[in-house]
Every structure is written in structure tokens, then in C-alpha cells.
Amino acid sequence: MGESPGMKGIRIIHGMKNLLWEIYAVLFAACFLIPLTVFLKSNYPELNSAVVIKSCIYSLIIAIVTGLFIWLLCRKLFVRLKDMQKLCRMVWNSRFFFTDTVNTPNMMTDKKEIKRKIAYFPKIYYKRDKKHIKVTIALDGSKFQRNFTELAETLEQMFFCDVVETQIKDGFIQYILLHDIQRDRLTIDNVIPKKYNIPLMKNLEWDIVRTPHALIVGGTGGGKTYLIFCIIEALLKMKAEIVVCDIKQADLAELAEVMPNVTYKEGGIVSAIRRATQEMMERYEYLRSLPNYTMGKDFSYYNLPPKFIIVDEYVALLEKMKKSADKNGKADRESFENCVSQIVLMGRQAGVFLILATQRPDAQYLSGNIRDQLGARISLGQMSTDGYKMTFGQVDKSFVNPTERGMGYIYLDGTTRNVRKFVSPYVPPDHNFKEHIAQLYGREEQTEAVTVEAEGEEIC
């Protein structure tokens, strides 16, 4: 961030507190007084009250029309001026400045006149482009320095934008806010993986090697299922192996008609997780047996295809297991959770990954040691404060429930420094997921399904 002041943006000065109104006043006065003067001068010989009133009305109309034209023509400029005024008022209202008392002589009396002079006003720079607002503040060691490093939530609420990145460098802190998230939205046809990177938005990719495992949270109508379908298509394009588990036998269970390894029964899901754990251990043995085995390298180094286990309605699955345990006095839940824990802790290097999806991230069923290992976390639709906290942990973020389907928040460990707003890829109404997934498998929808319903041998 070693930029010149001009590159940082426009310096906010203390006189910008009423910047917008001052500019409006000057423009209106100019647009009103100039034509009024012309009218009065041209009608000066027969000047009377009627002429004056008529001239005032004409001038007022011209001022309003001209003002609207200027506003439409320079609307983006006025948006920037309003933002700068907001920043200046934030400094004034938060008292982030110092004043000195100055005694000046008064020619009329022997008493000196007391005036206040701004002794310190923080160096704040403002810059705006098509997608971002950048607010850069000098960290000059003043008593307000801690306040300047904790402005993310305040700026989000001021600009109704999302802080996507915070940088501290060369004595400055820079907040980068995204003000037009729709510009970054992809369509599902653009979700084409590049090696092990899945594009989720423009300039935002999920690197499965760097950020293993995922948690997707969303209530009914939030767009969670569509996002999972988008990810499945991307994973198939990546040539990944996929196992789909859907205990509620909803939309994902229908994929059993067009792809293998789809299960929706409790026993089959438990068996699938156990087999994935066993395969993970076998992959480790295989990698160590390779002649080019190198310590510390992961599956991508050896071009081993990744394997994904997608578990939809994860909390509902564990609740069902709990009821089964209460009813039968015996359950696979402890073994199942042990396998899940092993995969999230050890799966990355072997290329075995979990995607857990749920409507609510209940702490009773999604323990902290598992959640913390899920590098990609996405929330869609409306959630409670506790829901956001369970999904993203304790973060300095003011969450606002989205009203549009497919919108929410995302955090990619190692990629996004902060929790940021997210909009899932747009899916046209005529897009048929089953047909596309069938084509990616090179088979028709009528292909006989291969489901995973065997109990399997317990290894966890």
C-alpha cells in the first residue's frame, strides 16, 4: 500500500461535513440567480411587480430543470460526494479530532476573542470504482489508532456495503468494501473448474486443495440445494468421485436415477462414510508406495482424483440417529461422527473431502472441532444471529438477512480474509440438473441407478 496520496484517493478534510448541501446551494443559486438577472435586466424599462414575479417563476423553473439535468448527468459524482460527506461526519460525530484554543485580539474591546482551531484531523482517503469502495486511514499513533482498526462494522452500516478485505501496510489501514455484488455473479455455465479451483463468483474461487471441506447452511427457499447442484456439476467436470447422501430423500436423492453412489437411508449413509474413511487410509498407503513419494505433498501432486462425500441435511441425519439409538439402545452415531472427524482432520492430503449441508448449524450436532476444519463456509437466505455465529464463529461482522434467493455470506479460509457477502451462480429456469449430470456421466436418465445401501464393515 505504498501509494502516493492521489493513488489512495481523495483526502477527507474537516470542511466536508456539509459538502453536498453546499454544492447543491451553489448550483441552485447559480441556476436561479443567473437567469433571474438576465430576465430583470432585459425587462428593466417596464419593471414592475408582475414582471419580477414572472421572472422569478421562470428562473425557478430553469433552476429546477437545470439542477435535475446536472444531477442525472453527474449522478455518480454526487454519490461519491455523499460518501465523502459521510466519512467526514463520522470523524466529527465520533470526535476523532483535536482542537486548540486560540486567543485573537479584538479591535473593539480589550478582551481577546477565543476561537477554536482544528489541530488534528485524521488522514482519511476515499476511492470508489465500479465494484469497490476503498477507505484508507493513516495509522499515525494517535489515541484513535485502535478505533481506526475496528471500523469494519461501522463502514458496512454507513455505506450498506460489505467489507471484503482489510489490509494494514506502510502505516495505513485500508478497508475494501464491495458495493455491487451483482456484478460478480456468475451463471452456472461459467462455473468451469480450473484444475482444483471452482469459481463461485467473479474473482472468487474455491481452491479445494488450499481450503478443504465445506459447510453450506440455508433454510427453505434460500438456494442451498441449487448451490449444491452447481458444485456437483463442477466436481464432475473436475473428474472427481462423488458420493451423495440425502436422509430426507429430497432433490439430491433423485440423482440416483442418473449417477451412482447416491444413498438416502441411514444405514447406507453410515456405510458410505465408513468406506470413505477406509479409502482415505488406503490412499495414504498408496501414496507412500509410489516411487516419487515426497513427504508433505498432497493428492494433487500425484494427479489423484479427489473424492467428495456430500451429506445433505447433516443435522437431520444425526437427529434421526439419536432417535434410533433411543429406540434400539444401539446406534452408529458415535462411529459415524468419529469417521466424519477423521475425514475432516486427515482427508485433505489424501484428497478425500466432506461437504456438509444443513438448514441450521446446531452446536449439539456440529461440534466446534469439526466445524473449525471446514475451510469453506457458506450461508444462504435468512438466518438468526446464533445461526451466523455457529456458521462463521465469533467475527466482527454486522450480518443483514438477504431478501433475494441465492444470496448470503461466505468465508474461504486462506482466500477471503473476512466473512463477505455471497451470491450463488444464477441458474436459468430451463436448466435441468439431472440431464446435465447424466451427460457429464455419459449416460441417459434411464440408466440403472447404483445406490449405496449396504451396511458395510465398521472400521471407525
Residue 425 pLDDT class (50, 70, 90 cuts): very high
The domains of the chain are located at 5-178, 185-440
Average pLDDT for residues 317-329, to the nearest whole number?
A: 73
What is the tens place of the pLDDT at every residue in 49-79?
676 677 777 777 877 888 788 778 888 888 8
Q: What is the percentage of the chain residues whose pLDDT exceeds 90?
A: 43
The CA distance from 215 to 411, in Å, is: 10
CA-nearest of 155, 100, 157, 165 to 124 is 155
CATH for 185-440, options being 3.30.450.90, 3.60.40.10, 3.40.50.300, 3.40.30.10? 3.40.50.300
Q: State pTM to two decimals.
A: 0.77
| Predicted local distance difference test score (pLDDT) of residue 458 | 42
Distance of CA 268 to the CA centre of its chain: 35
The answer to the question of whether 219 is labelled as a binding residue is yes
What is the tens place of the pLDDT at every residue in 127-170?
998 888 999 999 999 999 999 999 988 998 898 888 888 889 88
Is the Cα torsion angle 46, 47, 48, 52 positive or negative in sign? positive
The answer to the question of whether 220 is labelled as a binding residue is yes
Residue 84 pLDDT class (50, 70, 90 cuts): very high
Residue 321 pLDDT class (50, 70, 90 cuts): confident
- Could you say which DSSP state residue 449 is in? P
455 pLDDT more than 60: no
The CA distance from 333 to 53, in Å, is: 86
Cβ burial 94-132 (10 Å sphere, 16+ → b, else e): eebeeeeeeeeeeeeeeeeeeeeeeeebbbbbbbbeebb
Cell of 205: 474461487
**Sequence-ordered list of residues with C-beta below 8 angstroms from that of 103, at least 6 positions apart, any chain:** 112, 113, 114, 115
The answer to the question of whether 218 is labelled as a binding residue is yes
Average pLDDT for residues 189-198, to the nearest whole number?
A: 93
Residue 93 pLDDT class (50, 70, 90 cuts): very high
The answer to the question of whether 154 is labelled as a binding residue is no
What does the mean pLDDT of the chain come to? 84
406 pLDDT more than 80: yes
Cell of 20: 453536498
What is the tens place of the pLDDT at every residue in 340-351?
999 999 999 999
User: Residue 268: beta bridge partners?
Assistant: none
The answer to the question of whether 222 is labelled as a binding residue is yes
What is the tens place of the pLDDT at every residue in 265-306?
888 999 999 999 999 999 999 999 999 989 889 999 999 999
Residue 230 pLDDT class (50, 70, 90 cuts): very high
The answer to the question of whether 171 is labelled as a binding residue is no
